[in-house]
Copies of this chain bind each other. A is one copy, B any other.
C-alpha cells in the first residue's frame, strides 16, 4: 500500500490520547509514545495519595484503549530528544523520524528556585509520586505511633501542603479526612485528632482562584481540621521544617509541593524558544513558530486567550489535542488550519466530604450540589467502564463507612531505576 504520512504523538495523557483518537481511521500512520504502558487519569491522583483509590483505578493500559485503531502503534519508552530540525525524536536514545509531530508530554513540578524545595518536598504529578506520597504518609504515622519523644512525634505528624490550587486544596481535604477518620480509629493509642496537623500554605489571598471566590473553600477546609494559611510565602524548606518569609518556621517532616508546573525538561532539546516555565509559545493553530509540522498541546503550551494565559487543565489538553490532530489532517489535505480556542466547560474542585466548588460559565456553585456535579463529571470522564464501577464502589464504601480502603504501604521506586532493572534484568535481584 502507499506510504501514509507518519504522525508521531509524544505522550499518552489527555492531549496525546485525544489527538490519537481524533486521527483514528484517517489515512495516517500514527506512533504513540509514552514512558508508561498506561494512561493516567490525573484529576483523581490526589485520591491515590490519600489511600482512597487503588492506583490501578486511575490507570488504563494504552494498548487496550487503542486496540481498535488499526493505523496506530504504541511504543513504551522515554522520549530522550526532540529534533524538529531533522524531523526526528528519540525514544530511549533510538531516533525515530516523523512527518508530523504532536508534543503532548505534559508538565512536571516547578519549585521557583525556593531553596530546599526540590530536595525535600514530595510532589503529585504521576502515579509513582501518588503511591510514594501514600506510602510515606502511612509509614510516617506508623513510625510516629512508636515515637517516644513528643516534640519529634509532633514534627512527624505535621503535614504541610504548599499551594492553594486544585491539587493542594483537594489533597489537604482528603488527607485531613484520612487522618481524622479511619486512621484515628486505626491508632487508638495515639490521639491523632489532637496531635496530627494538616497545614495548607498559599502565597496569595485566595484558594482555588479562578474556581472559587470569597472564602468558602478556606472555611470548609478549616471545618474538617485543615490549618489554612493565606498570604504566606515559603522562604525555604529543610528536612525537618518549612521556613516562612515572615514568622515562625513550621516544624514538619512531610511537605507536599503543589505550587506550580513547568514543561517536561526534554522539550528543551527541541532548540526552540521556551517560556521560563519550559512551555511553548505556539501559534494560534498550535504549531511551533519555527516548525509548522510540529504541534504542541496540553500543559506544554502557554496560550493567550482574550488577553489572559489559559490555565492548563485536562480540558485544555483534550481540546488542544483534538485541534492539533485536525490541523495535521488539514496540512495533509492542504486545507486552511483552524485556530485553537478553549471552550471552558467549567472548573471544579472537591473540599472533602459533601463539599466542592465549581465555576461553570462564570457562575459559582458551592456545597453539596457542586460536589454531586464533581462526582458525576469525574466518573463520566474516567476512561474505562470497569474503572468507573471500581471507583464508584470505593467512593460509596469510603462515604458510607468513613473508610479509606487503600491504607497499604506498597513498594515502588523511580521509573528510572525500574527501566534500569528492565535492561539488566533480574540479575540485580536478591531474595527479600
- A residues engaging B (CB < 8 A)? 36-38, 54-56, 59, 61, 63-64, 67, 70, 73, 75-76, 108-109, 118-123, 125-129, 131-132, 135-136, 138-140, 142-143, 146, 182, 185-189, 239, 253, 386, 389-390, 393, 397, 405-418, 422, 425-427, 429-432
Are A408 and B37 within 8 A (Cβ)? yes
- Chain B residues whose C-beta falls within 8 Å of the C-beta of A36 in the assembled complex: 409
Chain B nearest Cβ from A426, distance in angstroms? 6
Cβ contact of A407, chosen from B37, B118, B125, B135, cutoff 8 A: B37
Inter-chain CA distance A185–B68, complex, in Å, is: 10
Copies of this protein in the complex? 2
Q: Which residue, A70, A389, A390, A432, has most C-beta atoms of chain B within 10 A?
A: A432
Are A55 and B410 within 8 A (Cβ)? yes
Q: Which residue, A185, A390, A430, A431, has most C-beta atoms of chain B within 10 A?
A: A431
Cβ contact of A430, chosen from B135, B189, B414, cutoff 8 A: B414
Inter-chain CA distance A126–B429, complex, in Å, is: 14
- Chain B residues whose C-beta falls within 8 Å of the C-beta of A409 in the assembled complex: 36-38, 76, 418
- Chain B residues whose C-beta falls within 8 Å of the C-beta of A118 in the assembled complex: 431
Among residues of B, the one whose C-beta sits closest to the C-beta of A75 is B146
Among residues of B, the one whose C-beta sits closest to the C-beta of A414 is B432
Are A186 and B427 within 8 A (Cβ)? no
Known: A56-B56, A73-B189, A108-B431. 6 other contacts (CB 8 A): A36-B409, A37-B408, A67-B185, A76-B142, A118-B431, A136-B422
**20 A-B contacts (beta carbon < 8 Å):** A36-B409, A37-B407, A38-B408, A54-B56, A61-B408, A67-B185, A67-B188, A119-B427, A120-B426, A125-B432, A126-B432, A128-B432, A135-B418, A136-B422, A386-B393, A389-B393, A409-B418, A411-B415, A411-B417, A414-B429
Given known A-B contacts A108-B431, A120-B426, A425-B253, A408 and B56 have beta carbons under 8 A apart: yes
Inter-chain CA distance A425–B122, complex, in Å, is: 10
Are B427 and A239 within 8 A (Cβ)? yes
